[in-house]
Amino acid sequence: MRGLPMDAALQSLADFIARHSAWAGVVLGFVTLLESLVLIGAFIPATALMVMAGGLIAAGVLDPVQVVFWCVAGAVVGDAVSFELGRRLGPRALRHPAFRPHRRKVARTRLFNRRYGSASIFIGRFFGPLRAFVPLMAGLLQMRRRTFQIANALSAAVWVLAILAPGYFAAKGLAELEALGEAHWATIAAITVAGLALVAWVAREILRRRARAAGVLAVQRSRGV
C-alpha cells in the first residue's frame, strides 16, 4: 500500500506535464535535480517521468531541446550540490545517524569511488542504488572540483539521452523508424558515436586506475609493506 501515494503523485505529475508542455522542461529538470540529491533522490521517480517524456517528444507534444536542456541541467546541479555538501562536511559526516539506515550503500559507494575515481561519477549515474550517493562520496573524499564537474556534465548528458530514448523509440515504433530521413539518422549516428566515445573514455580511466593501483601494490610488496 505504501506505493499507492507515490504512484498517484507520479500519475498526477505525468498528467500535468502532458497538459502543460511549456512547463514540462522546467518540471522535469526540477524532478531530476531532486533525484540527484543524496538521501532525497531515493524517493523521487524521475526516471519513470523521463521515459514518459521520451514518448511525448516522439508524439510531438514536448520540445526535445527544452526537455534535454532542463533535465541535463537538473542532473548536473543536483550532483554538484551533493558533491559540495560532501566537501563541506568531510569524512566525519559518514558517522552521522542519518546515514545509519544506508550503511551498506555508503560502504559500497566509498569503495566504488576509491577504486574508479572520476570514472565512478559516470558509471554511478546509471546505477539507481548508488546514483544519489556517488557525488556526495566524491566530495567527502575531496575529489578535485574540475575533475568532478567534467565527469558530472558528460555523464548527465549521456544519462538523460539514454533515459529518454526507450520512451521515444517505443512511441515511434519500428515502422516509423524505417521512414526516418537521412537527417534523423545522421543525428542518431552522431549521438551514438558521442556516447561510444564517452564509454571508451570511462573504460580507459578504469583500466588506467587499475594499472596504477596494481603498480603501487607491486611496489609495496617488493618493499615488504
Same domain, residue pair 193 and 97: no
Distance CA 46, CA 27 (A): 10
Mind listing the pLDDT tens digit of every residue in the chain (225 residues)?
344 455 666 677 777 887 878 888 898 889 888 888 876 766 676 788 888 888 888 888 889 899 999 999 999 998 999 889 888 887 776 676 766 666 777 777 777 777 777 777 877 787 766 677 788 878 887 788 888 888 899 889 988 988 888 888 887 765 455 555 544 556 666 666 676 677 667 767 766 766 666 665 555 566 555
Same domain, residue pair 187 and 215: yes
Same domain, residue pair 151 and 194: no
Same domain, residue pair 45 and 122: yes
Same domain, residue pair 83 and 188: no
Q: Name the residue range of residue 196's domain.
A: 181-225
Distance CA 124, CA 162 (A): 14
Based on the structure, what is the number of domains in the chain? 2
Instruction: Convert the pLDDT of each residue in 109-147 to its tens digit.
Output: 777 777 777 777 877 787 766 677 788 878 887 788 888
Task: Read off the amino acid at residue 138.
Answer: A
Q: Is 163 exposed, middle or buried (0-12, 13-18, 19+ CB in 10 A)?
A: buried
Same domain, residue pair 105 and 76: yes
Q: DSSP assignment of 61-119, as one string? A: SS-HHHHHHHHHHHHHHHHHHHHHHHHHH-GGGGGSGGGGGGHHHHHHHHHHHHHHTTH
Same domain, residue pair 130 and 189: no
Closest CA to 6 of 23, 26, 31: 31
Same domain, residue pair 108 and 215: no
Same domain, residue pair 208 and 108: no
Cell (9 digits) for 2: 505504501
The DSSP symbol for 126 reads T
Same domain, residue pair 12 and 118: yes
